[in-house]
Chains A and B, each alone.
Chain A
């Protein structure tokens, strides 16, 4: 562990060390604020190790990374909002989570924070960043929307039909999940992490379980590991089916939308019958014995394959549909890299990173990251097509394995678990990391960094230059969860 005591104004070594990780091609897992003026940055190296850098300082401010590592910009704004630590030299230090309703001295993740603050009686809107000039119109959308979607407030600066700039005001759904997790006993955590996000629930559950096991020095029996792969891949298919069905809706291709939704519904009903929940909440545990109906899952996969091939023919052969997606919402590879894009969005821009290639869980399976390089809506659509098919392949491998392995173990974590640990997985929406500090079997700090959090700034960049009418389509092609980033 390297503590770099920051007393001068430069803080050079903190910036330099983190820059070095980025230049070496490592993935930032999380930048976490902790009580006592402490920051930790965790990086996933190209060989699959986790490197930790820490910074402790005196005085109000710490050296900001954002000018050198733009992907840290949101993390530092969040740390500023929730702890009151000031990132010195941050290029855009304005509220991210905080609203004018928050009491001035309320920093929820500090020790002495009020559990129920006295909210100020004002509007919650923060000032927006807009473009000014002749012919520029500002269009505000949200936080409530005309359809059934999560809440977010978008401020577009537009000229004619084209978007000049999008200022996304998210965190409308900020509940304070990280704080809710603090002081909890281990047994209370799974139900909470299951519900951080409805679309990436298994990935969050896996991260918690894997963090506890890492810290306790336990390796789950092989059968249990195969079971976890079944859950993770089932969730990926569910989430991708949803997103793939939504993209055609964005261009009025209703047949593909409805048939896609039908496939999703069938898959979901199958999962409910097999694992007991339509979104796989509360399914992944330390020793979830392989109770699920393997034959049922095999039948479900076969039936998906049948409807999938029909649906693929429908979307593959519709030229107009592809015309509509190509060249829309382009993210250049350099931007994806600079902003630390994750998951589908990164792979669609030619960054061939998929955390499954490094996760110890997937060691027995060859995972080839999906590839596309257009960076547009089409590329993100194609990545998901490839990934559904590879997930089906992985499910079949895992199903063959679970039938030859079995586990009768029963394991519970030690009740005095203490220490810091970082875990990660590839959620349907990209690299998802949890940094957890345990103290005597209780959570002392729980930080969640999801793929969606990384990708929101990428989406804002992708829409600039496009027609306003294409925003829903571009948005659907990213299909970022709000709850994963708002927490």
Chain B
């Protein structure tokens, strides 16, 4: 029964990605990866989320919206950077309208999933680590 306590609800925000990371995240919902079987799912509101997934280098226009969404995630919460751009080592790191990743524009992520884009398999494995890592005293 204890395994069922480790569900992880995710909210995603695109902060300037090229859409490849989004497609890989969407692939997690297909039957090939079926992320829901691990108790992980994407939710429509940050109020329902345990973790926020951010893609993209954080453009200036998205910076405020991203901060508002992060503020709306109830505590305890986890911040995840998906892909090289969000991790702060993407190709448009130094663009004028980019804030250079999640760490430099919001706060240090709890988990960084590198790759351009990271494969769905890799994202899934890393998210499962987050699920088991900490935050739940009952584990």
Q: Are the C-beta atoms of A148 and B96 separated by less than 8 Å?
A: no
Q: Which residues of B contact A192 (CB under 8 A)?
A: 91-92
When A and B form their complex, what is the total count of cross-chain residue pairs whose Cβ atoms lie within 8 Å?
A: 142
Q: Which residues of B contact A108 (CB under 8 A)?
A: 96-97
Interface residues of B, count at CB 8 A = 45
Given A101-B61, A483-B18: A147 in contact with B44 (beta carbons within 8 A): yes
Instruction: Report the bound CA distance from A113 to B63 in whole Å.
Output: 21
- Per-residue CB contact flags for chain A residues 346-361 toward chain B (1 = under 8 Å, else 0) read 0000000000000000
Taking the closest CB of chain A, its distance from the CB of B118, in whole angstroms, is 10
Given A144-B69, A175-B59, A279-B117: A116 in contact with B96 (beta carbons within 8 A): yes
Q: Which residues of B contact A198 (CB under 8 A)?
A: 17-23, 117
Task: Check: A278 CB closer than 8 A to any chain B CB.
Answer: yes
Q: Which residues of A contact B57 (CB under 8 A)?
A: 175
Instruction: Report the bound CA distance from A232 to B69 in whole Å.
Output: 38
Taking the closest CB of chain B, its distance from the CB of A191, in whole angstroms, is 6
Instruction: Report the bound CA distance from A119 to B61 in whole Å.
Output: 10
Task: Check: B36 CB closer than 8 A to any chain A CB.
Answer: no
Instruction: Report the bound CA distance from A103 to B16 in whole Å.
Output: 20
Task: Check: A115 CB closer than 8 A to any chain B CB.
Answer: yes
Residue of A nearest to B53 (CB): A148
Q: Are the C-beta atoms of B95 and A173 separated by less than 8 Å?
A: no
Q: Which residues of B contact A176 (CB under 8 A)?
A: 92, 95-98
Task: Check: B5 CB closer than 8 A to any chain A CB.
Answer: no
Q: Are the C-beta atoms of B64 and A124 separated by less than 8 Å?
A: yes
Q: Are the C-beta atoms of A115 and B96 separated by less than 8 Å?
A: yes
Task: Check: A258 CB closer than 8 A to any chain B CB.
Answer: yes
Task: Check: B71 CB closer than 8 A to any chain A CB.
Answer: no
Residue of A nearest to B20 (CB): A198
Residue of A nearest to B66 (CB): A144
Residue of B nearest to A266 (CB): B32
Partner of A174, one of B14, B32, B59: B59
Partner of A175, one of B21, B42, B98: B98
For window 239-285 of chain A, which residues contact chain B by CB distance below 8 Å? 242, 258, 261-262, 265, 278-279, 281
Task: Give the interface SS of chain A, mostly helix, strand, loop or mixed.
Answer: loop
For window 54-70 of chain B, which residues contact chain A by CB distance below 8 Å? 56-57, 59-66, 69
Task: Check: B73 CB closer than 8 A to any chain A CB.
Answer: no
Task: Check: A29 CB closer than 8 A to any chain B CB.
Answer: no
- Per-residue CB contact flags for chain A residues 118-133 toward chain B (1 = under 8 Å, else 0) read 0100011000000000
Taking the closest CB of chain B, its distance from the CB of A461, in whole angstroms, is 23
For window 1-60 of chain B, which residues contact chain A by CB distance below 8 Å? 12-27, 29-32, 42, 44-45, 56-57, 59-60
Q: Are the C-beta atoms of A173 and B92 separated by less than 8 Å?
A: no
Taking the closest CB of chain A, its distance from the CB of B52, in whole angstroms, is 10
Given A123-B64, A143-B62, A192-B91: A117 in contact with B117 (beta carbons within 8 A): no
Residue of A nearest to B28 (CB): A148
Q: Are the C-beta atoms of B96 and A114 separated by less than 8 Å?
A: yes
Given A147-B44, A150-B14, A195-B91: A173 in contact with B32 (beta carbons within 8 A): no
Task: Check: A172 CB closer than 8 A to any chain B CB.
Answer: yes
Taking the closest CB of chain B, its distance from the CB of A274, in whole angstroms, is 16
Task: Check: B103 CB closer than 8 A to any chain A CB.
Answer: no
Instruction: Report the bound CA distance from A226 to B95 in whole Å.
Output: 35
Task: Check: B110 CB closer than 8 A to any chain A CB.
Answer: no
Instruction: Report the bound CA distance from A126 to B65 in whole Å.
Output: 14
Q: Which residues of A contact B16 (CB under 8 A)?
A: 151, 172-175, 483, 486
Could you pull out 26 A-B pairs where Cβ atoms are within 8 angstroms?
A99-B61, A108-B97, A115-B94, A123-B64, A124-B60, A124-B65, A143-B65, A144-B65, A146-B44, A151-B15, A172-B16, A172-B62, A175-B16, A175-B59, A175-B95, A176-B96, A180-B95, A195-B91, A198-B21, A261-B26, A261-B27, A265-B30, A278-B24, A278-B117, A279-B23, A281-B116
Q: List residues of B whose CB falls within 8 A of some A CB.
A: 12-27, 29-32, 42, 44-45, 56-57, 59-66, 69, 90-92, 94-98, 116-117, 119
